[in-house]
Amino acid sequence: MGVSFLSTCPSLLPLVAYETPPFTRYQPRSVSICCNKTKSDVTDEEPFRWRRRDVLKCVGATVGLELIGSSGSLVGMANAADLIQRRQRSEFQSQVKGTLFKAIKGNPDIIPSFLTLALNDALTYDKATKSGGPNGSIRFSPEISRPENTGLSAALNLLEEAKKEVDSYSKGGPISYADLISYAAQSAVKATFLAAAIRKCGGNEEKGNILYNAYGSNGQWGLFDRQFGRADAQDPDPEGRVPIWEKASVQEMKDKFSAVGFGPRQLAVLSAFLGPDQTATETLLASDPDVAPWVQKYQRSRETVSQTDYEVDLITTFTKLSTLGQQINYEAYTYPPPKIDITKLKL
C-alpha cells in the first residue's frame, strides 16, 4: 500500500503533553505521568524517545486508515457486479413471463390446472424432515401419475414446450422446473385477475386492462419476483403427502394446510387452486365455521372494483407457498458479461 511510517510522526507529536506551570516558564520541572498504572519520571531536559507501544499504535492506525481509504473501490466493484447480475436476472425473468403469458393466452382453459400443479408440487413439503416442497418433482412420471394429480399432465406438457423455448434464449443455463411451475402459476393468477377486470368492464378488453393497471395488484409481486432461483429435485417426492382435493373433506384440507404452516385464511384464499370449479370448492369450504368467514370476505372482495383484499392475500400466500423448504439461489441465471476489446473500437 506504500505506507510511510515517517509521514505519520508529525501528526502524533502534538499528542505528547508538556505541562508548563505558570511563572516557571524556563525552569526545568519533573513531571509524573501515569498510564495504565505504570509511572515514570520525565524531565524537560531529557530527549524525547518513542516507546515500542507508541510505534505499534502509530503503524496500526496508519495501516487501518489506509485500508479504510482503499475499501471504497472494492465496495464499488461489488456493487457494480451486483447490479449487473440483477439486470441479467430481471431481463431473463421478463422473457420467461412473456413466454408463459403467450402459452396461457393461447390455452386459457388450462389455467386451473397450472394453479393445482403448483399447489400439489409445493404441498409435498414436510416440516419434520425438511423435504419436498416446490422443487419440480411433479415432473417425474411416478409423481404426475398419482391420483391427486389426475388431469394435470396437459399443463405439464405445455410447460415442457415452454421450457424448450426459455432454454433456447437463456444465457445463464436452463430454467429449473421449480421456477417454471411457480411462474406459470403466477401468470395464471394474473390472468384471472385481468379476466375479472375485463368482466367488470362489460367484456371490453381495453377498459379492463386500464382498470387492472390502475387498481390491480401488480405492485404486490415484488417479493415473489425476487424468489427466482429454486432448485430442482432429482427424484419424485414421497407419496401420501397431498390429498385428492375433489374427495377430501374440509377437515382433511385444514389438516394438510396446517402441516405446512397455513390456516383457514390461506385455505380460503387458495380456493381457486383446489380444483377446476372455484365456486363448488368455496361452497364446500363455507360449510366449515373456521373457513366460512374468510370465504365470505374474499367473495365480497371479488365484487369490488379493485378486489384488493382478495388479490393481496392471494399473492402473499402464494409467495410463501412457492418457497416452502427452498433455498433460493440469487445468482441463478447470471452469466459473465461479454468482454470488450478496446483495440477494435473505432473512435
Tell me the three-class secondary structure of the chain, residue by residue. Answer: CCCCCHHHHHHHHHHCCCCCCCCCCCCCCEEEEEECCEEEEEECCCCCCCCHHHHHHHHHHHHHHHHHHHHHHHHHHHHHHHHHHHHHHHHHHHHHHHHHHHHHHHCHHHHHHHHHHHHHHHCCCECCCCECCCCCHHHCHHHHCCHHHCCCHHHHHHHHHHHHHHHHHCCCCCCCHHHHHHHHHHHHHHHHHHHHHHHHCCCCHHHHHHHHHHHCCHHHHHHHHHCCCCCCCCCCCCCCCCCCCCCCCHHHHHHHHHHCCCCHHHHHHCHHHCCCCHHHHHHHHCCCCCCHHHHHHHHHHHCCCCCHHHHHHHHHHHHHHCCCCCCCCCCCCCCCCCCCCHHHCCC
| Per-residue pLDDT tens digits of the chain, which is 347 residues long | 454 444 444 444 444 444 444 444 445 455 444 444 444 444 444 455 556 666 556 556 555 555 555 555 444 545 667 899 999 999 999 999 999 999 999 999 999 999 999 999 999 999 999 999 999 999 999 999 999 999 999 999 999 999 999 999 999 999 999 999 999 999 999 999 999 999 999 999 999 999 999 988 888 999 999 999 999 999 999 999 999 999 999 999 999 999 999 999 999 999 999 988 999 999 999 999 999 999 999 999 999 999 999 999 999 999 999 999 999 999 999 998 877 666 776 66
pLDDT at site 218? 84
For 83, how many CA atoms within 13 A lie in the half-sphere containing its CB? 6
pLDDT at site 326? 94
Distance, in Å, from the CA atom of 288 to the CA atom of 290, rounded to the nearest integer, reads 6
pLDDT at site 210? 94
pLDDT at site 58? 58
Mutual angle of helices 177-200 and 52-106, in 10-degree steps: 60
Sequence-distant (6+) residues with CB within 8 A of 263 are 254, 257
Mutual angle of helices 111-122 and 177-200, in 10-degree steps: 140
Distance, in Å, from the CA atom of 136 to the CA atom of 126, rounded to the nearest integer, reads 15
pLDDT at site 217? 87
pLDDT at site 62? 59
Query: Is residue 125 within 8 Å of 132, Cβ to Cβ?
Result: yes
pLDDT at site 64? 57
C-alpha cell at 86: 440483477
Sign (positive or negative) of CA dihedral 225, 134, 258, 129? negative
Quote the Cα angle for 306-312-318, to 5°.
135
Query: Is residue 152 within 8 Å of 113, Cβ to Cβ?
Result: yes
Q: CA separation (Å) from 103 to 114, 228, 252?
A: 11, 20, 33
Distance, in Å, from the CA atom of 38 to the CA atom of 111, rounded to the nearest integer, reads 81
Sign (positive or negative) of CA dihedral 288, 290, 291, 292? positive
Distance, in Å, from the CA atom of 43 to the CA atom of 36, rounded to the nearest integer, reads 20
- Burial class of 116 by CB neighbour count within 10 A (0 to 12, 13 to 18, 19+): buried
